[in-house]
Amino acid sequence: MLLTTCVFDAYGTLFDVNAAARIAANEPNRETFKEVWPSVSNQWRLKQLQYTWLRSMTHSYTDFWTVTKNSLDYALESHGLHENLELKERLLALYWELQPYPEVSSILKNLKTKGIKTAILSNGSPEMLNSAVKSSNLSGVVDEIISVETVKIFKPSSVVYEQVENVIGCSKSKVLFVSSNGWDIAGAAGFGFETAWVNRSKDPIDRLPNKPAHILENLETIPSFFDK
C-alpha cells in the first residue's frame, strides 16, 4: 500500500534539543556555563526521557513542560548551577523556540508539494509544540500537531501511536513514522508504522524488538519515500 502520511517526532528529530543550551552558552557573561553546557544539555535530555518512561510505568503522568523543568533542575544541580536562577529561566525560555535542523523546512515543503499529509506526534504539550512550530515558521507545512496530552501517557505506549489513526483518519499501513529516538522507532514499528530512524549521531541500533525499516543520516531523503 502506498504511503500517504508522514509523521515526525518533534524533539531531536525536527527540533535540535541542544539548541537552548548552546545558544545560552554563547551569550555574554556565561563563561562557567560555556565550559559545561554539552554535559548539562545531554543530562537534561536524558533525564527528560527517563522521567517520561518512569511516569508512564508508575501511572503518574504530568505534562511534558513539568517534566522538562524537573529534568533541567536535576541537570543544573548536578553541575553546581542550581542557584543560578537567571540561567534556568533563560534555558526554559529558549526551549519554547528550539531551532529546527537545517533541512527541516525544505523537506516539509517538498512533502506538501507532493500532496503528502504531514504531522507531528510528540510527548510535548500542545503549547510547547505550537510555539516551536510557530517560531520555526513551519505552521504552513505541518497539517496536524498531535500531543500525548490527549491520552496522558508518554511514548512508546501504543496508545500514543493510535492517535495518528484517530486524529488523521488514515490506516497505519499508510504512515511513514520518522524519529531520531531508537526506542520511539521500536514502539512505532511494533504498532505497525513503516519507520525511518534518523541516526544523526551514528549510534548502534537499540537491542529492542521491531528494528527500523530505514536508517538515515538526516531528513533529506524523506520525500523520496513517497515517490514509489
> In whole angstroms, what is the distance from residue 145 CA to residue 140 CA?
12
Cα 219 to the chain's mean position, in Å?
13
Strand partners, 178: 8, 196
Catalytic-residue membership of 63: no
Please state, in angstroms and rounded to a whole number, the distance separating the CA atoms of residues 95 and 23. 10
Q: How far apart are CA 134 and CA 155, in angstroms?
A: 23
Q: Give dist(CA 100, CA 61) in Å, integer.
A: 27
* Given 9, 143, 203, 206, the catalytic residue: 9
Q: How many CB atoms lie within 10 A of CB 39?
A: 13
* Burial call 40-68: b when 16+ CB within 10 Å, e when fewer: bbebbbebbbebbeebbeeeebebbeebb
> How far, in Å, CA of 127 to CA of 34, rounded?
29
Q: For residues 167 and 170, give the distance between their C-alpha atoms in angstroms, rounded to a whole number.
A: 8
Query: Which residues belong to the active site?
Result: 9
